[in-house]
Structure formats: structure tokens, C-alpha cells
A and B are shown apart, each in its own frame.
Chain A
Amino acid sequence: MGKNPFAKPASQPPFLHQMLGLTRYHRVERLAFLALIAPNFILFGVFTFWPLLYNLYLSFTKWNMIVPNPTWIGLDNYAAMIQDPIFWRVLWNTIYLATGSITIRLVMALALALVLNQKLAGRDVYRAIIFSPTFTTGAAIALVWAWIFHKDLGLLRLPLSWLGLPSPNWLADVNWTIPALIIVTIWRGLGYDMVIFLAGLQGIPAELYEAARVDGAGRWALFRHITLPLLSPITFFLIVTSIIGALQVFDIVAVMTQGGPMNSSKVYVYYVYENAFKFFKVGYAAALSMVLFLITLAITIFQTRLSRRWVHY
């Protein structure tokens, strides 16, 4: 008897109990809160959290989306990944693209930000032009670059011909597809990195430089001992967001190379897409997505851990 929750009002869940014990004003307040967050939370539940669980389940199954139900195969998809040479190739391509793009971009972006960080006529115009590729439509930009990379008629052949160099067959040569993608991602991401660096530079107190100058520090010493260390959290932020961005590259690859030739430009999300919607290997695609999620999570946790140590206020 004593265990019957209906017999004792006191064993109602505390929240409901509180609700019932509240004044009318508070009840209305709480209902308003719930009503206002409901659309967002329902959508998060259906399209963000449920997929996470469902994806985890699918990653332990084999399914082509046509037969009614997935078949449970345990860890087979994960085992298959380890033995899948294309998976390793895709991972390597993604890392190659990310590091190639990020290192060059950060150096150039920092240099441009330093130049822009002074009173100059037309400063906003330069900033806007250099930033302008950031938010362009990937599919359209990919076509423009495919034309620039054209072996015989492309714009890029021109500077190469001035130097007497032959133009590589950018998008058809296994050694040149990732460099081509690196060029496109640098062009597209440089302005963003520059704007972030610029914001960081403007946040460095001028007194620091003045004090160092009084102590006789030269330009290089100022850069080396004040600018660089104080920009380190921002650099770190850019590296992390660029890696996560590189893991999610899809549209330019889908339009420019479709991952080819011979998987030379196949990047992570493209491989997930291919497995799910071209090969209909849903379980395998789900396992790939889970690994992508874990990599992203690891990077994010690493970032919050490290940035706590890096950021000085």
C-alpha cells in the first residue's frame, strides 16, 4: 500500500508538486516559458538529438533503406572501416586539405591583418573585397574555379605560362586535385581569418606596445613578444574552426571533382553521402558519421581544455 504513488500525494514528482503549489502568477510564467521554448526544443529533439541516437543504432546494422528493417550486425561496420583503404584515403585527403589550407591561410591572413591594422584610406574597401568570397555559394564558386583550373584555357595557366611552366591537369590528375581544393579554400577563407585576426589586433591595448618601446624593443621584438602571444587564443580558435570546417567540406568537392579521380579528392562528408545515398550502405554511412561526430567532439573538448590555459585576461 505504502508504495502506491497514487495513495500519497507527497510522492508526486517534485516538479509537478511545485507546479501545483505555485501561485497562479508563477504557473502562468512557467507555462509561458515552456510554450516559448517548445518549438526550438521539439525541433532539436526530432532533428538533432533523435538522429544522434538513431544514427548510433544504425551504425550497428546493415541496411539499404529498401527492405523494411535494418539487420543487426554488431561492430562489423566499424571493423570494416579499419580495413577499408578508401576510408583511410579519405581521412588522409581531409587532413591534407585541412593542414594545407589552414597553414597558408593563417600566415597570409595575419600578414594582411597587420597591414590593415593602421589608419589607411580605403581600409573598409580592401577589407570588404578580401572578405567577399567567404559567403559565396559553394556550388557556383566551384564551377568558376573549375573553369579557372581548365588545363588549356584556364586563367591559372596564364601566370604559369609566364614562368614557362606547363599547367597541371588540376582536376584530372590524382596529385593535383587536393592542391586545387587547397587553393579554392584559401581564396574563400582568407578574408574571414583576416577579419578575425584584425579584431584580435584591435583588442591588444596600445599601452603594452608603448611600454615595450620605452624599454627599447624593436618592431620584430614587439611582434614576437606582444602581438603573437596575445593573438594565440585567436589563432587557436581559427585552427580549430578551420579543422571542423574542413571536416565538413562538401559542395565544392561534389561539383568540382565528385571525389575523383581515383578517390584522390574524396573528403569525409562526401564519402558519407556516397555510402548513404549512392551505394545505399546506410549502416556503414552511419558508422562513418559516428566517427566524424567523435572526432568533432574530441577537437571541441581539446579546444575548451587548452584555451582555458591559453587565454589570458
Chain B
Amino acid sequence: MLASKSISHSQVVIQRLVSRVTSHAVLIFASIIIGLPFFWMISTSFKSDVEVGLFPPVWIPAELLWENYARVWTAAPFEMFYINSVITTLAGLILEVIIGAMSAYAFARIEFPHRDALFLVVLATMMIPGEMALVPNYLTLRNLGWINTYQGIVIPYVSSAFGCFLLRQAFLSIPQDLFDAARMDGAGHLRMLVGIALPMVRPVVATFALFLFIAKWNAYLWPLIVTNTWNMRTLPIGLMMVREAEGTLGWQHVMAASLLVLLPVLVVFFLAQRQIIEGIARGAVKG
């Protein structure tokens, strides 16, 4: 009786071990497959012309050729692209957070007739695909004289339905007493927004800002349409210039350029991956 019990116990232990090992094997395999393109990009970016032309491929180049990066940096106005990307990303991010927070605060904290109906208008904009507005927005900007300008890249995309929705939820969770106390001290809405509401929901604001950073850094279609000289191009579009120079530049240079563009988003992602992934998971399960 005792013996059979201990056998079944060790069977369970073995079963658990097998299942654990298989789980790790599956996950390691998946991670390698997913990570391989990144590795391939980095590895290629350091190769010599000869190594790039070898098959089967060389995994790790014999010598790390940093000059590939220098070459790409001078082959296209990368400095300009970087400056343009940083300016448009940060300006867009800051404006969208401010605009989103302002409207979210109003919807969460100030009484107004038909407030909920107005909020539905905000939500309705999420159903209109941005691609829909390409031609009309191009024409609007042409009338404003904003083609090929920073404000042309930034302004059409700083209205915020998602941010308004997200921050409104967060503001609603703040206890009313805090606002009442501030009100007694004579604070106006702007001071309550900046002094109480925003600091109380800092993690939500941070997650929102992270998403905006990534989305705006990666933006392709709109900056492509609204800019028409190389000195106004952002990084993702500037990459085309490297691609078009394929005759003179090799794949090692194209990969170096790709990494230069990807690096900021990859760094942001890995620094804040927990926050980003949990933000995604929470949003989806609720919505």
C-alpha cells in the first residue's frame, strides 16, 4: 500500500519534470525563431562585403566592421532624419498627452449637459480609420501652407480618443475628497488637473506616453505623404534613400541603417517591457 503510493508519487514528479522540460524547449525554440531576424540584422551589419556574399551564411563576422555604420551615416543625411524623428515624435507625444489629459479631466470631473453623449462622439472617432483622411488632410494642410513642415507631420495626429478614454477611466478612480479639499483651498480646474489628477495617475500617463512614443516613431504613411524633400523626412522614410542606393551600398549597410532606426524603440521596449505588455493585456481584457 505504502509502496504503490510512493511509486505514483515519483511518477507525478517525473511527469512534472517532463512537462517542465518540454515547456522550456517549446519556449526557447519560439524565442530563437522570433529573435533570429534581430540577430541576423545585427550580425549582417558588421560583416564585410565578402562575408555578406557567402552561403551558407556566416553567423558571426570575423571582424566587427563598425565603419559600416559610419558609411551609412554619411551616405544619407541620417543626422537630419534623426533630428526630424526626435522633434516630431516628442512634440506629437507631448501635445497628445496634454490634449488627451485635458479632455479626459473634463469628462471625468466637470458636470456638463449631455456630457455622456459628447463622450460617445469621442469614442466614435476610433471607428473612423485614419487612412480615410489621407487625401482630405493633405488638402487641408496644403491650404494651411503646412506641407513639408513639422506641424504638418505632427498636428493632424495629436487629437486623442484613446488617451481621452484611458485617462478618463483613471481620473474617475481618484477619490472625490482630494478634489473637494483642493477646491476649498481655492484651486481651479487647471490646478487640480496638474496638481492632483495627473500625479495620481502617473503610471497610466507613463504607459500612454510609451505607446505614443513607439507609434509616432514608427509612423510611415502620413510623414511620407506630407513631406517632399529629404531634409524633412523622418527616419523610417529616410531608410528608402538607403534602399535606393543599393548599387553603392551593400546589405551590411542596409542592415546597419535599419538598426539605427530600430534602436530607440527596441531600447524603450526592453526597458519598459513589463509595463507595455501589461498595459496591452489589461486594455484588451477590459475592452
Contact = CB atoms under 8 A, between A and B. Distances in A.
Given A55-B136, A234-B284, A292-B131, A136 B111 contact: no
Interface of A: 15, 18, 29-30, 32-34, 36-37, 39-41, 43-44, 46-52, 54-55, 58, 65, 111-112, 115-116, 118, 120, 122, 124-133, 135-141, 143-145, 147-148, 150, 152-153, 155, 157-158, 161, 187, 190-192, 195-196, 198-200, 203, 234, 237, 244, 247-248, 250-251, 254-255, 269, 272-273, 276-277, 282, 285-286, 289-290, 292-293, 296-297, 300
A203 B286 CA distance: 11
A34 to B, nearest CB: 8
Nearest to B239: A139
Contacts of A234: 284-285
Contacts of B164: 40
Contacts of A140: 236, 239, 257-259, 261-262
Contact of A144 (B34, B35, B37, B225): B37
Given A43-B99, A50-B140, A289-B132, A155 B36 contact: yes
A187 B193 CA distance: 41
A112 B110 contact: no
Contacts, number: 278
A292 B129 contact: yes
B285 A203 contact: yes
A33 B109 CA distance: 9
Contact of A37 (B102, B139, B258): B102
Interface in B174-193: 188-189, 193
Interface stretch (B5-13, B153-161, B201-209): B153-161
B128 interface: yes
B173 to A, nearest CB: 19
Given A39-B103, A139-B237, 17 more contacts: A32-B106, A33-B106, A36-B102, A36-B189, A37-B102, A39-B98, A39-B159, A124-B274, A125-B31, A132-B38, A135-B276, A140-B258, A148-B40, A199-B284, A251-B218, A251-B220, A289-B131
Interface of B: 20, 23-24, 26-28, 30-31, 34-38, 40-41, 44, 52-57, 98-100, 102-103, 105-107, 110-113, 115, 118, 121-122, 125, 127-140, 155-161, 164, 188-189, 193, 214-215, 217-218, 220-221, 224-225, 235-237, 239-240, 243, 251, 254-255, 257-259, 261-262, 265-266, 269-270, 273-274, 276-277, 280-282, 284-285
B106 A144 contact: no
B27 A248 contact: no
